[in-house]
Structure 1
């Protein structure tokens, strides 16, 4: 009876290894594709949050809108929260005549936000809504603005 030579055994192992390598690569590629789709979906939803927030605030009563807005104040904001905050601030412009005290309260809280973009948006909204140059002066004295200028080499 003939014994299998070592080269034939190694050839069989190589086939198994190749099949396993092919399966692993297929799984990894499918995982990368799934991750890419998830990231694209998350990005699209993040961008749409501003419109969704504005629609929601326009759809509910004044007291409910105030409660929704208050629920978003004083948080540690993440970059994904910016579209929501942008929608809230855009909505506040319509309340200048009816609820100016509430609008000022919200802007004064948001101008001290932990995210630079939210704070800058609040300063701009304060100026645009109330034509108050005090918001522009305060924005120039904001420590985060000074740090950004220093990092950019402007000071």
Structure 2
């Protein structure tokens, strides 16, 4: 198990709190639990898809919550109160509950989610506000200078 101490960086930096808040949980994740397995793919210039393998879970047993820059996917199997509960000789399909968290970058929004063939697909879209997008500034010649943002 690898551990990294970031405390020397805290003493010598100012204004990087958000970066350290993202690094701390990633480095402190000692669970090492890979359940459920997942993929993160880039499907376009500003679109992404997270796919989780949630075989055996129904739509009602899954919950997706996006809060600030954290996406949380939770799965909780419904309790079965059946008198004829199966007697397993071998049980290789996990039926345990889970909670998987993903840190989202600024301006990334959840577009939707679908469940098909045991795979939960969560589609994400990065929407950068207009004021944060790069813009071209024209260089004027002396005597014809215009204020930035002035209509032509």
TM-score above 0.5: no
State the structure with more CA Rg. 1
* TM-score (normalised: structure 2): 0.24
| Greater strand proportion | 2
Which has the higher relative contact order, 1 or 2, with Cα contacts under 8 A spaced 6 or more apart?
2
* TM-score (normalised: structure 1): 0.24
